[in-house]
Structure formats: C-alpha cells, structure tokens
C-alpha cells in the first residue's frame, strides 16, 4: 500500500521543505544524546517530544505512526524480556525455579539495564524515523552530494532504493496470485510456491536491470544521475529552535548525571 511507503509520507510531511541539514542536525543530535545517556530520562523525553512533533505540527496520523513503530516495539520488548532474565547483579526481586537446573530470576540491576535499553532504543528509533518521515530520499541524496560523497556511491544507492519498491510490488503480485490458486494450502505446496516466487523474482530483477541499462543508454547516460534539488535555504529561526532543543536535552543530561562531563 502506498500509505505505508515512508518516502510517500515524507513527501506529504509538513516539514518537507525544511532544509535537510536542519532535520539531520536535530535527529542525529538527539540520537547521540540518547546513546550517551546513562539514565533513561533523556531518551524517554527525546522520544516523546519528537513523536509529538511528528504527529502535531508534522500532521502525521497517530494510527499510521503507531503502525510504523509496531515492528521495533515488538523486537525491543522481546529483547527486554530476555535481558531481564539474563542479567544479574543487585537484589533479587522475583525468582522462579521450576526444576533444579533452571533458575529464572529478576534483579534490580537487570531491571535498571533493561529499562535503560528500552528507553534508549525508543529514543534512537524515533530520531531515525524523524529523518525517514520528514526527509525524502532525494533530499538525502542531494545532501550527500553537497558533502562530497562519491557520486558513484550515491548513484548506486539511488538504483538500489528504486528497485526495492519495484521488487516488493512484483513479489506481492506473484504471492497474491499464488494464494488465489491455493499455492500455500499445504506445506509441500507452500515450499514449491515460495521457490517459484524466488525464481520469478530473480528473472524479473535480471530483466529489469537490463531494461534500466538500455534506458540509460538511450538517454545518453554519462555516469551521473541528474536530480532536482528542491531544498530551501537553511532558515536561522529553525536552526536556533533545534539548537535550543538539543541544548535543553544536554542540560537535562548534565543535571541527571553530573559525572557525564568527565566522561565526555
């Protein structure tokens, strides 16, 4: 579905025309602060504030945003549960020993580390999603060009990014056709249908690559993919707002952990 396409959401975002450098400064700054924070307070505050920014002024649907966060949320919740039982240290809060060889226990240290990990992943995930949901890939590619990233690497990333959605749509169409023909009704049929799907995708990807080469030759391809840069100049007001926000987060970090300055 097109509404699940992150690039489509970025194109429709209210922050679409803000300079990519400002958005990258905000997201990467928040990401670094979340990673170095030894307490869960800063990542939690950062994740909540940036989520509200995406939903309210960014005009992103809460239901759509919830679906996007669902995948990382399931993964980190499962990882946190594992950390609760794997880590030790501190006082035992809960213990369960069904058999002599199995001892399941939760300690104060495991709760602390699990909570910190959960909040860090939440804050970092929201920071990365802020870039994905407000900055189209074309703007990111143009930003890479301005920072002197090799043009060959950028063109390769553009081709790969374009073909991801083409192959995804082809895979969905083939899979739906197989389901309508009861291709996954039995385990043996499912294995056979999946192998055929992979084979057809390989052939279609090969043909699509050859078509792309012929199309580029017809358009006098000279080694560079031209792209239209629609980014507006950096606005001082936006840059000052982002700087104040990051400075406030850093201030909270210093207040919560006075020894962080020695670490930095």
76-109 tens-digit pLDDT: 888 888 888 777 777 777 777 766 777 777 788 8
- Do 11 and 87 lie in a common domain? yes
Six-digit token string for 112: 């602390």
142 within a domain of the structure (yes/no): no
- 130 and 52 in a single domain? The answer is yes
Residue 131 shares a structural domain with residue 79? yes
> Does residue 122 lie in a domain region?
yes
Q: Are residues 61 and 162 in the same domain?
A: no
Q: Give yes or no: residues 107 and 127 share one domain.
A: yes
Task: Judge if 49 and 167 occupy the same domain.
Answer: no
pLDDT recorded at residue 260: 55
- Residue 2: the pLDDT is 40
Nearest to 103 by CA among 95, 111, 93, 94: 95
Domain shared by 221 and 243, yes or no:
no
Closest by CA position to 129, among listed 201, 34, 205: 34
Question: Average pLDDT per run of 10 along the chain, which is 264 residues long?
Answer: 66 85 92 90 92 90 89 87 78 72 77 89 92 86 82 82 80 87 85 88 82 79 68 82 92 76 50
State residue 148 phi and psi, 5-degree precision. 70, 30
Q: 254 and 183, same structural domain?
A: no
Q: Same structural domain for residues 153 and 185?
A: yes
What pLDDT does residue 38 have? 87
224 φ/ψ angles, rounded to the nearest 5 degrees: -135, 130
Same domain as 119, residue 60: yes
Check whether residue 167 and residue 112 sit in a common domain: no
Residues 175 and 253 in one domain: no
Residue 89 lies in a domain: yes
Tell me whether residue 143 is in a domain. Answer: no
Residue 61 within any structural domain of the chain: yes
* Residue 164 lies in domain: 148-231
Structural domains of the chain, count: 2
Token pair of 230, please? Answer: 């629609």
What are the pLDDT digits (tens) for 223-259?
A: 677 666 666 778 888 889 999 999 999 998 888 776 5
Q: Looking at the chain, how many residues does it have?
A: 264
Residue 242 domain flag: yes
Residue with tokens 């950062």: 46
Residue 104 forms beta bridges with which residues? 96
Ramachandran assignment for 148, one of left (phi > 0), alpha (psi -120 to 50 degrees), beta (any other): left
Say if 20 falls within a structural domain.
yes
Rounded to two decimals, the pTM is 0.77
Distance of alpha carbon 92 from alpha carbon 49, whole angstroms: 34
């Amino acid at each position: 579905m097109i509404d699940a396409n992150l690039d489509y959401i970025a194109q429709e975002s209210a922050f679409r025309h803000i300079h990519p450098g400002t958005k990258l400064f905000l997201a990467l700054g928040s990401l670094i602060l979340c990673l170095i924070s030894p307490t869960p307070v800063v990542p939690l505050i950062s994740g909540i504030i940036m989520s509200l920014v995406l939903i309210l002024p960014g005009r992103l649907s809460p239901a759509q945003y919830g679906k996007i966060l669902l995948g990382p949320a399931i993964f980190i919740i499962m990882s946190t549960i594992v950390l609760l039982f794997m880590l030790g240290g501190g006082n035992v809060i809960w213990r369960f020993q069904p058999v002599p060889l199995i001892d399941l226990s939760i300690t104060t240290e495991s709760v602390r580390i699990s909570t910190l990990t959960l909040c860090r992943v939440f804050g970092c995930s929201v920071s990365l999603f802020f870039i994905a949901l407000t900055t189209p890939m074309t703007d990111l590619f143009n930003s890479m060009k301005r920072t002197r990233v090799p043009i060959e690497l950028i063109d390769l990333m553009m081709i790969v990014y374009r073909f991801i959605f083409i192959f995804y749509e082809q895979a969905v169409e083939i899979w739906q056709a197989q389901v309508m023909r009861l291709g996954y009704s039995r385990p043996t049929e499912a294995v056979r249908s999946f192998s055929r799907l992979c084979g057809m995708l390989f052939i279609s990807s090969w043909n699509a690559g050859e078509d792309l080469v012929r199309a580029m030759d017809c358009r006098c391809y000279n080694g560079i993919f031209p792209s239209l840069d629609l980014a507006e100049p950096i606005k001082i007001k936006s840059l000052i707002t982002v700087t104040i926000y990051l400075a406030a987060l850093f201030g909270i970090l210093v207040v919560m952990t006075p020894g962080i300055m020695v670490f930095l």
